Amino acid sequence: MRLRNKINLYTAVLFIFLLILMNVAIYLVFSNMIMTNELDRTKAETEKIAKDVSDAVNQIAPNNLLRAYVPIDGMVQIVGETNKKSSTITSHSENPLKDRKPIFYPGEKSEIITYNQKKYVFASNPIIWTDGSIVNLQITKSIHTTEEMLGILRIVLIAVTIIAMIPVLISSSILSNLITRPIRSMIDTMKEIQQSGQFKRISFKGKSKDELVEMGETFNHMIDLLQTNFEKQEQFVSNASHELKTPLTIIESYADLLKRRGMERPDLFDESIEAIHSEAIRMGEMTEQLLLLAKHQEQWNIKLEKINLIEFMAESAKVFQNAYHRNIEIHSKDEVFATSDVQKLKQLLFIFLDNARKYSDEFIAVYIGKTGNEAYVRIEDRGIGIPKNELEKVFDRFYRVDKARTRKQGGSGLGLSVAKEIADAIHVRIEMNSLEGRGTTVTLFLPSK
pLDDT tens per residue across span 8-18:
888 888 888 99
For residues 73 and 148, give the distance between their C-alpha atoms in angstroms, rounded to a whole number.
Answer: 15
For residues 405 and 411, give the distance between their C-alpha atoms in angstroms, rounded to a whole number.
Answer: 9
Predicted confidence (pLDDT) per residue in 16-32, tens digit: 899 899 999 999 999 99
**Residue 323 pLDDT level (bands cut at 50, 70, 90):** confident
How many other CB atoms are there within 10 angstroms of residue 78's CB atom? 24
Provide φ and ψ at 258, rounded to 5°. -65, -40
pTM of the model: 0.48
Whether the pLDDT of residue 405 is over 60: the answer is: no
DSSP letters along 379-441, please? EE--S----GGGGGGTTSTT--SSHHHHHHHT--S-HHHHHHHHHHHTT-EEEEEEETTTEEE
Range name among 150-164, 285-299, 369-383, 398-412 with the lowest pLDDT average: 398-412
3-class SS of residue 179? helix
Mean pLDDT highest for which of 24-33, 178-187, 220-229, 334-343? Answer: 24-33
Looking at residue 331, what is its pLDDT? Answer: 92
Alpha carbon of residue 119 to chain centroid: 57
DSSP letters along 192-204, please? HHHHH----PPP-
Looking at residue 39, what is its pLDDT? Answer: 92
For residues 123 and 87, give the distance between their C-alpha atoms in angstroms, rounded to a whole number.
Answer: 16
For residues 286 and 278, give the distance between their C-alpha atoms in angstroms, rounded to a whole number.
Answer: 12
Whether the pLDDT of residue 167 is over 90: the answer is: no
**Helix 3-56 / helix 144-196 crossing angle, nearest 10 deg:** 170
- State the Rg of the chain over Cα: 50
Range name among 247-256, 364-373, 390-399 with the lowest pLDDT average: 390-399
Looking at residue 375, what is its pLDDT? Answer: 92
For residues 445 and 181, give the distance between their C-alpha atoms in angstroms, rounded to a whole number.
Answer: 48
Length of the chain: 449
Percent with pLDDT over 70 in the chain: 91
Range name among 63-67, 233-237, 389-393 with the lowest pLDDT average: 233-237
